[in-house]
């Protein structure tokens, strides 16, 4: 089975593709559709709380005919955060959980989970700790609540879960670890929470299949024009799986998006 996950940074920008960046985003989405994944998980949809517009639905249905589309939009802030799942097979159930996260995080459409007969597929858009780490405490509370949620799923069936986790786990996962030690996404506190998650019975599929590979990232800052050219990136997007199915993973890769900065999609192949 093939799974793809991507922080798209606005479904509307992709569908409209009226700017150079929008055109690159749309081209990437077309390439992902051509790959015919079993499930495509998307983060940071930035949809209104009413969900997809007719234009959005028509464009996605044209790209993904006969797929099932599910969205979870923010009701707390307009056109903010949000997630989407596009599935070839209709799941047994779809969950848009609240996990007891602080503040408005539970109302920001950050998680969708699909249930299939022998496993769950979930996606997450993890909150950022903030440029001045002003939300670090809330981020840590989120991490604890999210870990408990995934553990609850894993107690029933194996879980395949992906998304923008907003964390570079180890020094190998970003270009400049020394100068970013106190930056959001690479603090000791956030890295320790990610270690706790893995230690609860989950495998980082990319690192398991590429144990020593550095310089392969999933995000390059848009505000720094040379970040992609210089490959000054971070690996903050992950496919994690329950340890009990980790031996079934056959590939875990990053999809090349050429000159487009921001997030690159990630792809998982697993024999299930």
Looking at the annotation, which residues are catalytic?
125, 164, 263
Phi/psi at 137 (5° precision):
-65, -45
Place of tokens 């192949």: 269
- Whether 12 has a binding-site annotation, put simply, is no
DSSP 8-state code for residue 149: H
Closest residue by Cα to residue 113 from 130, 136, 92? 92
Residues near 216 by beta carbon (within 8 Å), at least 6 away in sequence: 210, 235, 254
Q: How far is CA 248 from CA 33, 238, 255, 270, in A?
A: 24, 17, 21, 5
How far apart (Å, rounded) are the C-alpha atoms in residues 249 and 112? 22
- Whether 263 has a binding-site annotation, put simply, is yes
- Whether 164 has a binding-site annotation, put simply, is yes
- Whether 115 has a binding-site annotation, put simply, is no
- Whether 180 has a binding-site annotation, put simply, is no
How far apart (Å, rounded) are the C-alpha atoms in residues 56 and 12? 7
- Whether 262 has a binding-site annotation, put simply, is yes
Structure tokens at 8: 């798209």
* Exposure string for 47-59, b = 16+ CB within 10 A, e = fewer: bbeebbeeebeeb
Structure tokens at 256: 């090349």
How far apart (Å, rounded) are the C-alpha atoms in residues 225 and 247? 39
Question: Which residues are annotated as part of the binding site for Mg(2+)?
Answer: 7, 44, 164, 166, 262-263
Question: Which residues are annotated as part of the binding site?
Answer: 7, 44, 164, 166, 262-263
């Amino acid at each position: 089975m093939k799974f793809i996950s991507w922080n798209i940074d606005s479904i509307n920008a992709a569908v409209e593709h009226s700017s150079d960046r929008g055109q690159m985003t749309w081209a990437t989405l077309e390439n992902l559709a051509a790959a015919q994944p079993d499930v495509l998980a998307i983060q940071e949809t930035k949809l209104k709380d009413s969900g997809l517009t007719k234009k959005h639905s028509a464009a996605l249905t044209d790209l993904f005919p006969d797929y099932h589309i599910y969205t979870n939009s923010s009701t707390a802030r307009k056109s903010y955060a949000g997630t989407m799942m596009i599935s070839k097979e209709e799941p047994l159930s779809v969950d848009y959980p609240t996990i007891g996260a602080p503040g408005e995080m539970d109302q920001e459409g950050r998680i969708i989970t699909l249930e299939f007969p022998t496993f769950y597929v979930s996606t997450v858009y993890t909150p950022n700790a903030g440029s001045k780490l002003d939300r670090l405490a809330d981020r840590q509370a989120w991490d604890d609540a999210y870990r408990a949620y995934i553990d609850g799923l894993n107690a029933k069936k194996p879980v395949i879960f992906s998304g923008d986790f907003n964390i570079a786990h180890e020094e190998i996962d970003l270009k400049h670890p020394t100068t970013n030690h106190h930056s959001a996404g690479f603090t000791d506190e956030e890295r320790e929470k990610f270690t706790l998650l893995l230690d609860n019975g989950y495998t980082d599929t990319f690192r398991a299949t590429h144990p020593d590979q550095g310089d392969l990232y999933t995000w390059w800052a848009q505000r720094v024009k040379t970040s992609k050219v210089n490959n000054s990136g971070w690996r903050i997007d992950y496919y994690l799986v329950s340890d009990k199915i980790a031996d079934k993973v056959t590939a875990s890769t990053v999809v090349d998006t050429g000159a487009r900065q921001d997030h690159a999609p990630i792809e998982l192949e697993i024999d299930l």
